[in-house]
Structure 1
Amino acid sequence: LWVASRNIVYGLIVIIAIVLAFMIMFRMKISPQVVISIQSAIPKILIALILVTFSYAIAGLLVDLMYVVTGIISLTVASVGGGIFINDPTAIFRFMTTGFIGINGQIGVSVGIFGVLIFYLFIFTISIFLALFASGGGVLGNLATLGIMGNVVSLMSIIALVIMTLIVLFATFKIWWMLIRTFAQILLLTIAAPFQIAFGAIIPGMGFGSWLKSMAANLAVFPITGLFLILSFVFLMISTQYSIPASTSLSWWQLLYIIPGGVGMANTLASNTGWPPLLGSSNSMLGLIFVGASVMVLTLIPKVAEIIKGAMSGRPFAFGSAIGEAWGPVRGLYGSTLGPQVDAVRKYGGEIGAQQFYRSVNSRVNPENRDTAFSRGLPQWFKDYIRRASGQDRTQR
């Protein structure tokens, strides 16, 4: 396909060159500005011709540079790691390029991005379970001492576990689709490189510079995605180190050590006490916090392409929107319940907010609908309070 594009561009350049040559030879009477434009376009056409000829080789060079950057990242992570099975940059490089999961780059299998994400979901479920139940009872065990309120908070924690699992599943498919889309864009950029470079000699804003930036931005997605995946696993490892005490006989959690590049970094970060402030000091709570940090890093990955392109164009990073988009499935669940009604009360406040709330749920709580499941589930004092707060009692009197 690239050869066909190159040949078409060659034909167009030949036609344009012949037209310009005849215009110059016959000294066609045109304005001085056009003469200057034609004369200045000739060197651009020659340069574009050279770049079109070597555009495929330039694209290959950029791909090789991507692997060089990946190797540099692997060496850096290995030097920081220094953990069991993880101080081999070759294993890290294979993880970032083929999704290799194994020991020391020798025993294991290359599962690709989808296999890595499935493995992440498996380890994530184990890590959050340990944070909730391990380490002397975990978070739920500590909350049980609060009595009834502790039971309520425990139930909310279990619901949060389900929601976070849905978020991880949603992010998994988004990451997979983002990498496929980026690969397709690289192929299209390579095929269309002769046209974009050639048109740059005539049309401002196109040309070799814009093509090079687009190509580099798309290629940078792959090493950055691999780095973010390593960071996600690192935070999961830190979570297990806090959730399972050193005296615990459980040793299966060392399964996490097969992820290249993470254990040494996890050991270094977990050794720093007193962090993070105000978010809890118990081991179980810190384990839960680092699970949340791992999920937040994972939700940033689908926005890697936009973040890189924004950095190259000077736009601010889209960190907040990346985290917000991960809550898409939760918004649907929120909107199907009383979420909009609660938003109305929060937005308007006071009597107006209560009236908005009353109008939304009146059909469910009025006496005529007492046979509905929703109406039976609400206490009478709540129904009376809604009517009083919305002014319906005054209207009826």
Structure 2
Amino acid sequence: MLLVLVLIAIGFMIMFRMKMNPQTVISVENALPRIVIALILITFSFAIAGFMIDIMYILIGLIVSILSNNSAGGTYYDATRFKNEYMMSSGWDLYRDIRARFGLQSIGMALGSAFTQIVPVSVYLALRTVGGVIFIFLMKWILEFAVNKGGDLFGLANSEIGLATAVLGPGNIIKSIVEIPMFGFFLIFLFMIGFIYVIPWIVAILIGFSILFLFFRLFLILFTSYLKLIINVIISPLLLLFEAVPGKSAFKYWFMNLVSNLIVFPIMIFVFILAYLIIFNTASSDMTARLPYLYGIDSNSFRLMIGLGIIFLIPDFVKTIKEVLGIKELPFAIGFGTYFGGVAAGVGGVTGLLGQYGSIALALNYIPGGKKLLSKITGDKENNPFDRVQGGGGDTATSTTTR
């Protein structure tokens, strides 16, 4: 039906000799071929989309196979295993790849060591010392909580060793060390644990939040691309109808949108594998070429910083490649606001009502007799939150005028 309407419109264009541009007039000769091409494209639009998806999978396989080969004739990783993992990957696999197949605790230890090597030795030792002290007081709080909440249950409060000595104030710590040498060794042990592990643990927590945020961001990028791909396929007959109109090029716009949504998946896999190779398959040497101000970090930590840095730049890579290809995407965007927009609207409505109530209450406070009316509405005859307003109070103003 729509195609018939388009053909009728083209017929009227030919009859009234409309111009495609200042030099060209629409005629039967240049309209008929475009109508035939539009019909062919509409018929095979679904097949074209399926073919492009197959090309995407072939490209992913080529990326995995090419990057697996090294110059010595061997392989950096099992290409078959990687292909199977990427072809059938899930959301948890995305989280694994964002970590570059690295343990989160190991990332924290390595990056914590790398970041502390950037600062001077005195600051480095100070940070480690602060970490040791923080760990002691953390254990003090944990033991205090255990004694207060679970002492009677587990028999800790009445033991001869007395875990309560671990929760003594700072003034009694020295006395406790003198009286009970083992407690002093225990404090030293806690301090050494904190000295070694607290800063890396803090870095691991911060990196963990960053990885979690990047996980949701990349997942939304992938899901948005998939959603736009589906929309492209569904509305392809409608878009490609305009290919029949002389002077229009709807197929290029549709095809480039198809490419822009599919190219996201190979780009991410390429960057994930590249980061994996940098972290696990580059030579560990202190002679790694670096630029000024980047020396002083051991090679293993430096490789991890580079690999994770590349992964964190994936959204920028995707955006840049789309801009280089000159792709103008469909005007659809999806994010957390798409799914939780109702919550935001509800919160905004409640906030608006509270603001209106505050404005009305403030206005009543300045009207003679308004305070009594406000007290009846709120049910609080003694306390009025607007009594403290400078120069305020309708009743006060009335009494002052009377005097």
**TM category, shorter:** 0.5 to 0.7
- The match for 1:290 is 303
Change (3 A) 1:71 1:14: same
Give me the whole-angstrom Cα distance separating, in 2, the residues matched to 1:198 and 1:47. Answer: 10
Displacement of 1:276 after TM fit? Answer: 2.7
- Residue 207 of structure 1: how far off its partner (Å): 1.1
Q: Which residue of 1 aligns with 2:91?
A: 113
Contact (CA 8 Å) 1:132, 1:139: kept in 2 or not? Answer: yes
Residue equivalent to 1:229: 272
Listed as ranges, the matches of 1:176-195 within 5 Å are 176-195=219-238
Letter in 1 for 2:47: A
Match for 1:276: what amino acid? R
TM-superposed CA distance for 1:20, in Å, is 5.1
Partner SS state of residue 325, structure 2: helix
For residue 88 of structure 1, the aligned residue among 71, 78, 81 is: 78
Q: How does 1:296-311 map to 2 (within 5 A)?
A: 296-311=309-324
2:288 to 236, 255, 274: 274
The whole-number CA distance in structure 2 between the counterparts of 1:92 and 1:199 is: 42
Cα separation, 1, equivalents of 2:85 and 2:327: 31
The CA deviation at 1:164 is 2.7
Amino acid at match of 2:107: I
Paired with 2:82 and 2:4, the residues of 1 have a C-alpha distance of 49
Go from structure 1 to structure 2 and tell me whether the alpha carbon gap of 1:275 and 1:198 turns closer, same or farther (over 3 Å shift). same
**What is the distance in 2 between the residues matched to 1:143 and 1:32?**
70
| Paired-residue identity, % | 24
Partner deviation per Cα, 1:143-166 (whole Å, 9 max, x = no partner) = 999456622377695554443332
Tell me the distance in 2 between the aligned counterparts of 1:226 and 1:189. 23
Q: Matches of 2:40 and 2:53 in 1, distance apart?
A: 20
- Note the C-alpha offset of 1:117: 0.8
Q: Which residue of 2 aligns with 1:76?
A: 66
Residues 242 and 249 in structure 2, CA contact (< 8 A), matched pair in contact too: yes
Does 1:126 pair with 2:105?
yes
Aligned with 1:170 (options 205, 210, 213): 213
Change in 2 beyond 3 A, CA 1:38/1:275 = same
Match of 2:311, as an amino acid?
L
Asked if the contact 2:53/2:262 (under 8 Å) is kept, the reply is yes
Q: How far off is 1:169 after superposition?
A: 1.4
Counterpart in the other structure of 1:37: 26
The one-letter amino acid of 2:127's match is V
The code of the aligned residue for 2:42 comes to V
Which letter maps to 1:37?
I
Q: Aligned partners of 1:209 and 1:22: how far apart in 2?
A: 25
Query: 1:52 aligns to what SS in structure 2?
Result: helix
Deviation of the 1:82 alpha carbon: 7.7
Is the 8 Å Cα contact of residues 6 and 241 (structure 2) preserved in structure 1?
no
Deviation at 1:236, TM superposition (A): 3.8
- Alpha-carbon distance between aligned partners in 2 of 1:18 and 1:144, rounded to the nearest angstrom: 74
Equivalents in 1 of 2:310, 2:248: separation in Å? 35
Aligned residues: 254
Label 1:41 to 1:223 Cα distance change in 2 as closer, same or farther (>3 A). same
**C-alpha contact (below 8 Å) 1:81/1:87 kept by paired residues:** no
Are the equivalent residues in 2 in contact too, given 1:78–1:88 (CA < 8 A)?
yes
Q: Does residue 46 in structure 1 map to residue 25 in structure 2?
A: no
More helix by share: 1
Q: What's the offset of the Cα at 1:23?
A: 8.3
Deviation at 1:291, TM superposition (A): 2.4
- CA gap of 1:155–1:76, structure 2 versus 1, over 3 A, is farther
The one-letter code of the counterpart of 1:151 is: A
Amino acid across the alignment from 1:61: F
Distance in 2 between the 1:17 and 1:140 partners? 67
Structure 2 unmatched ranges of 5 or more: 132-198, 329-403
How far residue 47 of structure 1 moved from its aligned partner, in angstroms, is 0.9
Which segments of 5 or more consecutive residues in structure 1 lack a partner in the other structure?
Answer: 1-10, 100-111, 238-265, 316-397
Q: Which residue of 2 aligns with 1:66?
A: 56
Kept in 2, the 8 Å contact 1:75–1:89? The answer is: yes
Contact 2:108 2:207 in 1 (8 A): no
Per the alignment, do residues 274 and 212 of structure 1 end up closer, same or farther by CA in structure 2, a change over 3 Å counting?
Answer: same
1:190 is aligned with what amino acid? Answer: V
| Offset, 1:16 | 3.4
Q: TM-score, normalised by structure 1?
A: 0.54
Q: Which amino acid aligns with 1:274?
A: T
Residue-by-residue CA offset, 1:117-167 (whole Å, 9 max, x unaligned): 14754825233344268xxxx569979994566223776955544433321
Query: Cα–Cα, structure 1 residues 127 and 236, in superposed 2: closer, same or farther, change >3 Å?
Result: farther
State the Cα deviation string for residues 274-316 of structure 1 (Å, max 9, x = none): 333442355xx3333222222222222234442221120189x
- Whether the 8 Å CA contact 1:56–1:190 is kept in 2: the answer is yes
How many Å apart are 1:50 and its aligned residue? 0.8
Shift of residue 205, structure 1, vs aligned partner? 5.9
SS in 2 for 1:14: helix
Instruction: Tell me the C-alpha RMSD between the 2 structures.
Output: 3.8
**1:64 to partner: Cα distance:** 1.0
